[in-house]
């Protein structure tokens, strides 16, 4: 990541009035011209654009127009991995995680509502318990009959019963 300088340079740039302008004043003037919020991360971004080694940042800011959006400026800072923009990555990750947790919570709540609705329907149906018991008994009998039929067919065909051999 690109680091920011520890302090603001005190060398002066001359202007038309014969007065000297510091880097900070130049950055502030340029930000004011573009109506950019005076946030610390914007100062670092403009410092890199005006005085940093990567002059493409200035072109990217210019491409945003006369009143660049904060989102556009932040995207440039993130792209160039400026130190002051690192906190934005963490905040975005937190927002994404919170959104995902909200979605999961909504899905769980919906599943719980559906389950409770089915339980209420079963509890309110007068014959539901008796019907379920009857169905369970019928399925048990069906399984018993199937096993018995398989055994009879095997006996009729004179097939040997399955045995589990130790060497198999």
Summarize pLDDT for 2-56 with one digit per residue, the tens: 544 444 444 445 555 546 788 888 888 999 989 999 888 888 888 989 898 888 8
Q: Tell me what pLDDT residue 4 has.
A: 46
Query: DSSP letter string over 93-134?
Result: HHHHHHHHHHHHHHHHHHHHHHHHHHHHHHHH-TTHHHHHHH
Q: Tell me what pLDDT residue 96 has.
A: 76
Q: Tell me what pLDDT residue 158 has.
A: 64
pTM of the model: 0.44
Residue 67: pLDDT band with limits 50, 70, 90: very high
């Amino acid at each position: 990541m690109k680091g920011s300088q520890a302090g603001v340079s005190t060398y002066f740039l001359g202007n038309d009035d014969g007065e000297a302008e510091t880097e900070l004043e130049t950055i502030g003037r340029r930000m004011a011209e573009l109506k950019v919020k005076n946030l610390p991360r914007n100062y670092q971004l403009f410092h890199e654009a005006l005085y940093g080694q990567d002059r493409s940042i200035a072109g990217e800011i210019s491409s945003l127009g006369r009143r660049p959006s904060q989102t556009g400026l932040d995207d440039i800072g993130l792209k160039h991995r400026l130190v002051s923009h690192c906190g934005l990555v963490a905040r975005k990750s937190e927002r994404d995680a919170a959104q995902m947790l909200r979605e999961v919570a909504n899905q769980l709540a919906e599943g719980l509502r559906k389950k409770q609705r089915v339980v209420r329907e079963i509890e309110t149906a007068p014959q539901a318990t008796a019907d379920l018991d009857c169905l369970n008994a019928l399925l048990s009998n069906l399984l018993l009959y199937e096993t018995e039929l398989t055994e009879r067919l095997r006996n009729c065909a004179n097939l040997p019963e399955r045995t589990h051999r130790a060497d198999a």
